[in-house]
Amino acid sequence: MSVSIGDVRSAHERIAPHIHRTPVQASQQLDEIVGCRLLFKCENLQKAGAFKSRGAVNAVFSLSETSAKNGVATHSSGNHGAALARAAQLRGINAYIVIPSDTKQVKKAAILAYGASIIECEPTLDAREVALEQAVRDTGAHFVHPYDDDLVIAGQGTAALELLAQTGGLDSLLVPVGGGGLVAGSAIAAHPMTRVYAAEPEMADDAYRSFKTGELVTSHTPRTICDGLQTTIGARNFAIMQDKVSDILLVSEQEVIDAMYLLWTRLKQVVEPSSAVTLAAVIRNQKLFAGQKVGVILTGGNVDPNDLPFT
């Protein structure tokens, strides 16, 4: 493996001055609904509103002065872009963020608030990659991949590292999967004492199909409310998942909406749909987790309150 538990621990030391050690919350009502003990790692309360700050800060503050001098660039559906923009601002360098034209306004505003330059493109992965390549050529910026990067993976894994320390250990851990950086980092942090499950929308099931067939799906057309999970899984992350993840659990769009509503009303946490796939997966698979102590990572809270799916 290109990323070790030592890398995750080093990342945690590096990023500690620049991130929140987010709280863990529980709800007796939710425990009764699912029949297990749920412990929620609230990365929706993280700097820039999502776990992505961990990987972005680790990547940016690991760059040499030479690599960092022309700034950093990436493509993003929103949260990684805001996180990288913030990390660049902290280090005093420029950031160039390629985003799809249909990016949620609340996420676009966050990127701009951290002083980054935005480059819009068509809402396809191919268009994002083409625009990113052009931006790097034009600026000389260092590309920080949103998920398929060793430093990003190690940084994302610090959320699980903290959660395990805060809870005294877990039987199972559920993590949303989009590009797979958080799942890969979490699996490295948790292995071998905790079973790690990835949760994914049925309408964006490339990771599930890759995991079940052993063949990496590199192109698909997701149609899910979970805008943060629309990317294809990274090759590094796929290899780690094959080795350390127990299974990938699918959920429907309605199950995501219902879980999001429960998190808002029972846990009183503002989360985006991409965060809710984990609770949705527990609800759908209650027999699998019955009686267990289960960690759930709530990945982000960057959602427009005027555009909620359950109102």
Name which of 102-106, 186-190, 234-238, 253-257 the model is least confident about.
Answer: 102-106
- On whether residue 28 sits in a domain, the answer given is yes
**How many separate domains does the chain show?**
2
CATH number of domain containing 44: 3.40.50.1100
Mean pLDDT of 226-236: 91
Q: What is the pLDDT of residue 218?
A: 87
Torsion of CA 222, 226, 229, 232, to 10 degrees: 0
Domain closes at, from 91, 121, 143: 143
Give yes or no for residue 190 having a pLDDT over 90. Answer: yes
158 & 285 share domain: yes
Domain closes at, from 116, 143, 170: 143
Query: Which positions ≥6 away from 191 have C-beta within 8 Å?
Result: 5, 244
Write down the mean pLDDT value for the chain: 95
Q: What is the pLDDT of residue 91?
A: 97
Confidence category of residue 1, pLDDT binned at 50, 70, 90: low
184 & 70 share domain: no
Confidence category of residue 231, pLDDT binned at 50, 70, 90: confident
Mean pLDDT of 44-57: 97
270 & 156 share domain: yes
157 & 16 share domain: yes
Q: What is the pLDDT of residue 306?
A: 85
Give yes or no for residue 191 having a pLDDT over 90. Answer: no
What's the pLDDT tens digit per position in 148-178? 999 999 999 999 999 999 999 999 999 999 9
- On whether residue 310 sits in a domain, the answer given is no
Q: What is the pLDDT of residue 124?
A: 83
Domain closes at, from 105, 121, 143: 143
Mean pLDDT of 17-27: 98
Name which of 95-99, 204-208, 228-232, 280-284 the model is least confident about.
Answer: 228-232
- The boundaries of the domain holding residue 59 are 53-143
181 & 277 share domain: yes
26 & 72 share domain: no
What's the pLDDT tens digit per position in 235-282? 999 999 999 999 999 999 999 999 999 999 999 999 999 999 999 999
175 & 221 share domain: yes
- On whether residue 304 sits in a domain, the answer given is no
- On whether residue 111 sits in a domain, the answer given is yes
CB 70 within 8 A of CB 141: yes
Give yes or no for residue 61 having a pLDDT over 70. Answer: yes
- On whether residue 220 sits in a domain, the answer given is yes
92 & 37 share domain: no
